[in-house]
């Protein structure tokens, strides 16, 4: 019962993270035309534009993966074989870790709120804030998958 509740909490956390990611992507898309024009003249701008969308996509993929695994384990965890029950939390942890590192690699030097001083950059600053919230959600999911793995070994399903 404890593991099922933890899995449902993970699913809820993944939904919250997806909301943060959706808001960040929505705010970033407002600068799509301007960034396209800039990318035509600057290879660095093109690279940053590509990386911005790639990092958001990796966050969404990790959240979706975590959401699906947590729901499957919450509903049918005890019906799966022992290998799947031990492997699923490990795979979820690995996927979230990789996505988190990918996002951090690009967004780490950017502090939320620095672009607010620039005119018409409020939505971009909001996207940065949402991305940092997404990183917090991914951290929480990482810790929750470690807790699941521990409980699977100690308590079992």
Digit-coded pLDDT (tens) for 76-107: 877 877 788 889 999 999 999 999 999 998 87
Higher pLDDT, 99 or 48: 99
More confident residue, 85 or 72: 72
Cα(119)–Cα(113) distance, rounded to whole angstroms?
Answer: 13
- Mean pLDDT on 24-39: 78
| 30: Cβ contacts below 8 Å, ≥ 6 apart | 123, 124
Q: What is the pLDDT of residue 110?
A: 61
Distance separating alpha carbons of residues 130 and 28, to the nearest angstrom = 11
| pLDDT at residue 118, as a whole number | 46
Which among 146, 156, 10, 133 has a CA at the least distance from the CA of 72?
Answer: 10
pTM, rounded to two decimals: 0.83
């Amino acid at each position: 019962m404890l593991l099922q509740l933890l899995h449902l909490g993970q699913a809820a956390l993944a939904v919250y993270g997806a909301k943060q990611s959706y808001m960040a992507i929505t705010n970033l898309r407002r600068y799509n035309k301007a960034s396209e024009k800039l990318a035509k003249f600057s290879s660095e701008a093109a690279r940053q534009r590509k990386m911005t969308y790639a990092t958001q996509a990796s966050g969404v993929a990790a959240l979706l993966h975590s959401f699906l695994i947590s729901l499957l384990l919450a509903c049918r965890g005890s019906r799966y074989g022992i290998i799947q029950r031990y492997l699923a939390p490990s795979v979820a942890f690995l996927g979230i870790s990789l996505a988190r590192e990918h996002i951090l690699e690009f967004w780490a030097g950017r502090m939320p709120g620095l672009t607010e001083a620039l005119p018409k950059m409020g939505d971009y600053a909001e996207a940065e804030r949402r991305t940092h919230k997404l990183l917090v959600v991914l951290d929480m999911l990482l810790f929750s998958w470690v807790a699941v793995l521990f409980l699977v070994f100690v308590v079992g399903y």
